[in-house]
Structure 1
Amino acid sequence: MEGIHTSGGAASPATSGRPGTAGESYKRKRSGAEFESSPGTGGDGEGEEEEESRKRQPGVKRACNECRQQKLRCDVVQDPFTICSRCNRLKLECKIESNFKRVGKRSKHAEMEKEIERLRRNLHQAQVQGYVVEDDVEIESPAAPNGMYSRSSQSYMGSDEAVSSLLHLKQGGSYNMPRIVKEIENVGLTEDAINHLFNEFWCCYHPWLPFLDPSQTPEAYYQQSPLLFWTIITVASRRYNIDPHLLTNISGPFTRLLWTAVGEVPNNHYVVKALCILCSWPLPTSTTSTDPTHILSGVMMKAATGIGLHRPSHTQDFSRVSVDLNKEQLHDRVVTWAVCNIVAQSIGTGYGQPASTLYDWTLAIRPGEDGPFTLSPELEARLQIERFCDKVSKEMYSNASDPRGVAGDELRAMLTRVYRREFNELKVSILSQQNLSPIVRLHVVAAGLHLRLSAFFDSSTTQGYMDDLMGLWRAVLAFLDLVFELESHSVDNEMNNGILRYATNYIRQMIVAACFALLKLTSSFFAKEIDFERGRQLFHRTIQAIRNMSIINNDLPWRLAELMVQMWNGARVEARSLASQMVNNEQSSSEIRTIIDDSLQLKVRCRMSMSLVFDTIWRWREEFQAQGRGNLEAAAKNPTNPESAAESSASSTHLDSTLMPAAHQIQNQLLSAAGAATPNSSLPSASMLSGSLGYNGESNYEVFDPLNWMLDGLVDFPYSYAAVQGLEANGMG
């Protein structure tokens, strides 16, 4: 053992490739117990220090650091420096340092055991403070199940080096710790989590707005725009069952990234793409006052025109440098501009606001042409539908002669007939195409509902008033029937519990409008003209659909659904009181019909087709203001059943007694101000839904969002749940 022989010739102990000498070997035998006493001391280290103190013999070579650590033969050449074969083979850093000291394995293992114990304590402390470890995952696990890590929680786990060393020890030296490849502030994602989220987006969300390229990798999207990458991740996290907390954790960092990108003035169309997606699936909010979607829609359109997307073939006119686009790049910008207009129009329709759209030469229909300006059949159909909605909004609700912008009764009646024919032609044209998805059909019937909702602006003297109401009833049925047909079909095909869970904000708003229309029509004199039982069942089903579309507890859809249920139950209670009063007074049906004909007309008329939603809540707000405030905390935590209104008024509603006016007050208000319904009617008019409670003059019409005012505290909705608190804590409040 003392001598070392090689194939290249004999080598004496003094001239071997080992850094020590024969004397060093003898000393190592004599003091073996000291060899691994502590890192860098004893054993080989003492021999090296002793050897360094002597004058080295000519020709003695010094091993590199890596070989010295492993006590292996080294063939490094110092002059000229040539790395050793072992470092070259293992891709290690080959270097020689005079002050290098070996680290003893035993002491290293002891330190690792201490580190393990410290990490266990810190993990327990993190769990106590609220951090969640899914499925009791231990810290030694090579990969967390959701692939998402919070940088703030990593402070409890020690350094990355400690964790790596721990995994190295526990798994026989293999480094399998999941690597965070993308992070935004305190939220990090592994490659597996990113791929899963992107697949979720392509499968569930992309069909609603198909304009991105699913074949591109997540990294390619990140290189194009970090905002676009994180927008896709954020939207996909809405229903991410693997980590239900991801949306809450990422909302704050994403919101700050969004406004930073907007504040830096977007200068590429990938940021515009991100805004298109975000406006279609905005972050959940519990109140309209914190919903920036309408603002972001304007930013999206201005950013698009600022970089010349509306003139894609002349982009150099909007750039400081010459821009030469190939066919694919030109087509990408044309598609992005088309989607901008589709999204902007749907936001205008859904929010009851003027849309900042621009339908010009770039988006002109070119039959038979195949080039960069040609859109896919899906987007072309969507663009035609939004063009129709734009015409309806501008012609019916942009009257320069009216302070509220609404066209007069005669003009509106004429426009309704004209657009009714145009809608039928559009519907036949689009539905005759075999290669379009059912989602396009849904947008077609939603456009028909948008047109028909103008019936609530009519007065009883408008020509064809009852026909318009019947047309509205049919449009509501057609839209909701198709909604539930698509939902049932997607559930049958096991598409993640239904397609509505992933629908855009616009579709949800149209469902809410249809539900309000059902509520108003079935609570009025018009109930005797329709199939009330069908309307009742459809209302209950729609309420459940709206609740299912809720992203977090107590967000805006959830609260609106609860409010509509309370209004439905309250209207039924009042209806029974009115029916009893009508029997006692022996009112004739003709007198009743004449009195209540104008009860469906709207007071709120500045929100286009969405005026119905705001008007109904305004009236409910007036009822609350007149009768006092109620407490709906229990109802919000335990959703009210629409069927809870039994025949007995005592058990027919969950409303606090302060919310419901006394029976004689209801009777006097309705009989004196607006009349009452026929005793044969299934559901006579209720005061909060009819015109009996006015605004006490135009001077009381305050300039604010009635929906926001109604839901921001008047009814004491408890939106301080943990989920909403998490969103507000992360910058969404």
Structure 2
Amino acid sequence: MACDARKKAPGPCWRCKDKNMECRFDKNFKRIPTRQITSSLTNELHNMRATQYTSEGTSVSPRPPSAARDPEEHARFLQISEGEIVTDLSIGAVGIPPEVVLELLRHFEQHYYIRAAFLQPIQSPASCASESPLLFWTILFIASQHHESHSHLYEKLFFPHRDLLAPLTTCALHSIQEIHALLLLCLWPIPKQREVLNPIWNYIGLAISACIRLDIHNPLPQDHILQGWGGWPRTLTSVSLETQRLTWLACFSISTQESVWLGFVPPLSSCYHLKNTRKAVNGLDGHLKPEQLASIAIYENMCHYSVALEGIDEPSTHFLLTQSHNGSLDIVKQTYAADWPREVDIVFQLAKLNLHSTALVPYLQKGCTREASHIIDLQTLLLRGLEAASNLIEGIKAVCLAPAPAPATADTHGDNTTTNTILPFAPKHYFTNLFFAALFLFRTYVLSQPISQTHKALAYQGMVDVHEIFQQLPQRRDIARAAILVEKLLSKARLHETTTTTTTANSSSLNELLITNRLGASIVWDTVLRVRLRTNVLTVAANGVVEREVHPVEEAVRDRLPPAPEMMLQETSGGGVAAGLDGFMPQSSEDLIWADWNLFVPQPGYSDMGQMFW
């Protein structure tokens, strides 16, 4: 018989009365989803065991000399024989002299290849351009963007390169070189007029699907009966197993990074895909450096906690699982502590930031009760997220603002590039990580009433650092767009600190998220959404409904954004053809001086940024 304590309260229940005992029924007791919590904890135990098994299986140990790869050999991308004759190469109406081709390839080797180890070396530019035109021209296209002498080619190559990409939407990818081209465009994408037009998520989806279709995720033996059969998708007999495994690991890493930015569960987070990822790692034994193994282990943990936390809405359960996964990440760091460079720590801090940002979402949902334990948990998550965000910014500053490698001498076939830092060559996810951290710090700054002024100063300084980094690339539309938004948030933070009349209202508004379906990125996209509101950049409409603004973007701000390549398309009088691929109109560098930007950035609460941002 069920206990009747709830009905008899405040009197004793029939069982306690019958046994002459004191009834300890708590009228505030609430049932909890025990079965769901048990299931989540069980899954978490499985994940922890898998992580421990991974750590044991990939622990750093001395490698046999025969299996170790020479770092210099790995760094060689351009392997042209002495008798190779490089001729003029052309695409569409654009012709490139042989000396420029070599300069761009060496420039790519020096500044980009270190983050694209899945690429096969080029032994003959002419053969590569003939056999893999999309990959070859993608390499030259990317290398030209920030080349000191040949940056004008970036605009000239845009439309011919776009024509090479077009068939990928109508025909299945049939070579690993096409997959490599898509992966490069995920790392160094083409600037778009608006961020929502960025096709990285589409590209990585195509790359993953092609890898599975071509068995790159689980390669067949070289002597398998299917090799060479015309009825099977085009096999990769000429591609080494090492390259195939590196390609799959690149898909795994890039897709996980992009998932964090967009707020999705990583597409390769299922047990099946993680098993194939682990097989690829084991198959590359002796070819991966300890820091590469550490990064992969961190990405695996990110997949685990995204799956575990995605289906849970109860804040306390979220917090417990977050504690467990935070410990798993710490185990990875302890395992690879001897080989822990800045690049790995950036991935580590992003994983922690995303973890605690995801855990914050249930606490910031509308209707969430503000119990004492919840307030303590909320403060803990904010502090840990603030620490991770600050460390992430410091790590990227240390990596991207470090002096660029000195160009090689003529004897070693170097290029003529003179770049102060490697910031222009950083992959896209470094900038999205900075933006993620800046917006998290802003919400921490506004929500941090229980946190000390020291922490608030740390959050504000982190936003300033991100803004200063973004300011160094005013010619990049996506970076310039982010810089303006961060500047608006800095202005709002100063306003929040100095005013007293609107602070309470704005802070209470920011205590709740309008967007809650994007995991840890919900905080990012919720903040971006609020910036677009005209009546008050950081509050919702009076009736609680977010309405689309009809007011135009301030012309002064919009004009200060550098144009994306697609925006410079001009129609000839003949109709339909891009006006002389030599006839682009690049924006004068004088128009991009950052000292003038403050004069044109609207104050928060004044105007809608509208389509300019997203």
Q: TM-score, normalized by length of structure 2?
A: 0.67
Any unmatched runs of 5+ in structure 1? 1-177, 400-405, 583-591, 628-687, 703-708
- 1:546 is the counterpart of 2:393: no
> For the structure 1 residues 279 and 345, does the alpha-carbon distance in structure 2 shift closer, same or farther, using more than 3 Å as the test?
same
- Alignment length (residue pairs): 461
Contact 2:186/2:204 (8 A) holds in 1: yes
2:145 match: secondary structure = helix
Distance between the aligned counterparts of 1:410 and 1:324, measured in 2?
50
Cα offset, 1:711, TM superposition: 13
Provide closer, same or farther for how the CA distance between residues 567 and 374 of structure 1 changes in structure 2, counting only shifts above 3 A.
closer
In structure 2, relative to structure 1, the CA distance for the partners of 1:548 and 1:728 (3 Å cut) is same
Instruction: Tell me the equivalent position of 1:410.
Output: 316
Q: Equivalent residues in 2 for 1:151-166 (5 A)?
A: none
**Does the Cα contact within 8 Å between 1:353 and 1:608 map onto a contact in 2?**
yes
Measured in 2, the distance between the counterparts of 1:181 and 1:262 equals 30
Q: Could you tell me which of 131, 142, 165 is aligned with 1:258? A: 165
**Cα distance in 2 between the residues matched to 1:441 and 1:324:** 37
| CA displacement at 1:418 relative to structure 2 | 0.8
Q: What secondary structure, in the 3-state scheme, does the structure 2 residue paired with 1:285 have? A: coil
Aligned to 1:226: 133
1:427 equivalent to 2:340? Answer no
**1:349/1:609 contact within 8 Å kept:** yes
Q: Indicate the SS of the match to 1:613.
A: helix
1:528 partnered with 2:452: yes
Q: Please state how far the C-alpha of 1:187 moved relative to its aligned partner.
A: 1.6
Deviation at 1:538, TM superposition (A): 2.9
* CA shift in 2, pair 1:715/1:478, >3 Å: same
Letter in 2 for 1:565: E
Call closer, same or farther: CA 1:245–1:421 in 2, change over 3 Å: same
Structure 2 residue 93 is the aligned partner of structure 1 residue 192: no
Confirm whether residue 718 of structure 1 aligns to residue 544 of structure 2.
Answer: no
The Cα of 1:540 is off from its aligned counterpart by 1.6
Q: Matched residue of 1:490: which SS? A: coil
Distance 2:549 2:344 in 1: 34
Change (3 A) 1:530 1:728: same
Offset at residue 253 of structure 1 (A) = 1.5
Cα gap change, 1:518/1:493 in structure 2, threshold over 3 Å: closer, same or farther?
farther
1:232 deviates by: 0.9
* Counterpart Cα distance in 1 of 2:313 and 2:286: 36
Letter in 1 for 2:345: R
Q: Distance in 2 between matches of 1:353 and 1:483?
A: 23
Is 2:151 aligned against 1:244?
yes
Q: Alignment partner for residue 569 of structure 1, among 491, 500, 504?
A: 491
TM-score (normalised: structure 1): 0.56
Q: Does 1:442 align with 2:336?
A: no
**1:355: which partner in 2?**
266
Show the counterpart of 2:355: 451
- In 2, the alpha carbon distance for the partners of 1:558 and 1:415 equals 38
Distance 1:416 1:361, change over 3 A: closer
- 1:453, 1:305 → 2: CA distance? 32
Secondary structure of the residue that 1:265 maps to in structure 2?
A: coil
Q: Percent same amino acid among aligned pairs?
A: 18
Name the CA shift for 1:214/1:610 in 2 (closer, same or farther; >3 Å): same
**Alpha carbons of 1:480 and 1:324: their partners in 2 closer, same or farther (altered >3 Å)?**
closer
Q: In the alignment, does 2:286 pair up with 1:364? A: no
Secondary structure class of the residue paired with 2:249 = helix
Cα distance per residue 1:622-655 (max 9 Å; x no partner)? 3x1x36xxxxxxxxxxxxxxxxxxxxxxxxxxxx
Alignment of 1:144-543 (within 5 A): 181-214=88-121, 216-313=123-220, 320=230, 329-357=240-268, 359-364=273-278, 375=288, 377-397=290-310, 399=311, 407-433=313-339, 438-457=342-361, 458-459=363-364, 460-461=370-371, 462=374, 464-490=377-403, 496-526=419-449, 528-543=452-467
Q: 1:273 to 1:370 in 2, by over 3 A?
A: closer
Deviation at residue 488 of structure 1 after TM alignment: 4.3
Q: Residue by residue, what CA displacement relative to the aligned partner does 1:38-64 show, whole Å, maximum 9, x if unpaired?
A: xxxxxxxxxxxxxxxxxxxxxxxxxxx
Write the distance in 1 (CA, Å) between the matches of 2:550 and 2:217. 39
- 1:560 is aligned, of 453, 462, 482, to 482
User: In structure 1, what residue type is equivalent to 2:540?
Assistant: L
Q: What is the Cα deviation at residue 260 of structure 1?
A: 1.9
Q: Distance in 2 between matches of 1:346 and 1:326?
A: 30
Distance in 1, matches of 2:142 and 2:249, equals 21
- Residue 727 of structure 1: CA displacement? 4.5
Task: Give the secondary-structure state (helix, strand or coil) at the position aligned to 2:220.
Answer: helix
- Note the aligned Cα RMSD (angstroms): 3.7
Relative distance call for 1:415 and 1:271 in structure 2 (3 A) is same
* Superposition deviation, residue 362 in structure 1: 3.1
Q: Tell whether the 8 Å contact from 2:401 to 2:423 is kept in structure 1 after alignment.
A: no
Q: Please give the secondary structure, in 2, of the residue aligned with 1:188.
A: strand
Tell which deviates more after alignment, 355-364 or 477-486.
355-364
Residues 186-227 of structure 1: CA deviation (Å, up to 9, x unaligned): 222111111111112121122223222446443453344111
- For residues 532-578 of structure 1, give each alpha carbon's deviation from its aligned partner in whole angstroms, at most 9, with x where no partner exists: 334333322210212335553xx122112112212321342354231
Which residue identity lines up with residue 540 of structure 1 in the other structure?
Answer: V
Offset at 1:180? Answer: 6.3
Query: CA, structure 1 residues 529+392, in 2 after alignment: closer, same or farther (shift >3 Å)?
Result: farther
